[in-house]
Structure 1
Amino acid sequence: MSSTRRTPTREEVEAWFTGLIDGTRTRDQADRWAARWFIDPHAAPVEDGVVEWALDLLHGIDLLAGPDGRFLHTTPSCAHG
């Protein structure tokens, strides 16, 4: 069976981080977008190590650090990842 979803480019991943920083994308949207390459059996394997690292960060970008509602990954950490 062939893959039906191609691997994202570095530019696409960067656009998701930019969207998080400028507020045009939500953390939930970014998490769901990146999750596809971890849970979709039809997703193409990620060959680029930088893209894989960035997808891993985006997949979980909406995780809370604790019960106070702060996010595990702050907006500045997204900008300087």
Structure 2
Amino acid sequence: MARASSSADPADTPATYEDALSELERLVTAMESGQLPLDQLLQSYRRGAELLAFCRARLEAVEQQVKVLEEGQLKPWTPA
């Protein structure tokens, strides 16, 4: 039996943070409905974990870029 790769298929990688968040929200809604079969629930949970990791990585990357722009100090954002 073939073993699934631990790395995500590049075709399944969201294009943007917003796309990942939107898909994650849809998965959570479907999972919370209680109407998914067990196998699909597990698959949705796995996909949700992948999307969450993607979102966290994007947020960390943006935070690092902001630190560089602010000369190493993360300053509170105040709207103009």
TM-score, normalized by the shorter chain, greater than 0.5: no
The TM-score, its normalising length taken from structure 2, stands at 0.35
The TM-score, its normalising length taken from structure 1, stands at 0.35
Larger radius of gyration: 2
Higher helix proportion: 2
